[in-house]
Each structure stands twice: as structure tokens, then as C-alpha cells.
Amino acid sequence: VQLQASGGGLVQAGGSLRLSCAASAGTLYNDAMGWFRQPPGKEREFVAAITRRADDTNYAASLKGRFTISRDNAKNTIYLQMNSLKPEDSAVYYCATKVGWVRRAPSSPAAYEYWGQGTEVTVSS
């Protein structure tokens, strides 16, 4: 399984970005997919996750309302729409996928088996 994240860049505070994460063929049986981020000098943290049928979404409490996760299974792609961006949202954003069915989209990085390479988001003040 290979994941390719894209869509990062430099944006001013208050702006928006949409990140994409395309999964390679062979992800038919994968289930939840998620986004995590790692700010400079800090540990990786959970952003959002979604189950395969999008019947469950899970967000970091501090980001709910500004970030929206979605997926297009026909394209094996998930998205992260980020609005009202703040300088503290600056980080490398990673997508990840978990093999197997889950009822709840997990928020722990340890639950995910495959990770993309990351895409950098910089929000200027």
C-alpha cells in the first residue's frame, strides 16, 4: 500500500487549503483512513479520521468545525478541507490507512499500518 499526500503549501492566516491523499491499488480491504500532523519540534498528533463507508468521522476536538475529512472510494482518495487556518496549524500533515474493519475511526497513530510521506502546510500570520 502506498499513500501519496498532496496539497500543502503556504497560506495566510484565515485562508483555506485542501489536502488530498491518494492510496495505491490494493487498498480494497483497507478501512479507516486518517490525517495526522507534526508541528515543528513537537510530536505527531491526530487531526481527523474516517471509516471506509464514511459512516463514522472522528476529529480532534480543537479542530472540529474548521477541518472536514471526506473520501472518494472510487478514487481511493481522502481529503482534508482546512478552513480559517491559523499559524499554529503549521505542520507536516500525514495520511494513514488502517487495514480491516473498524466501527470507530481510530485516533491513535498506533492503529494505522501504512503512512504517506507527508505534505507541509505553513500558515503565515
| Gyration radius from the chain CA atoms | 13
* Paired residues of 3 in beta bridges: 23
Q: What is the mean pLDDT of residues 85-104?
A: 93
Closest CA to 73 of 104, 97, 106, 94: 97
Residue 101 pLDDT level (bands cut at 50, 70, 90): confident
What pLDDT, on the 0 to 100 scale, is given for residue 24?
83
Q: What is the mean pLDDT of residues 31-48?
A: 95
Give me the pLDDT at residue 120, please: 98
Instruction: Determine contact, residues 25/4, Cβ cutoff 8 Å.
Output: no
Q: What is the pLDDT of residues 44-93, one digit of tens each?
A: 999 999 998 888 999 999 998 999 999 998 888 999 999 999 999 999 99
Structure confidence at residue 75 (pLDDT): 87
Residue 116 in this model has a pLDDT that exceeds 80:
yes
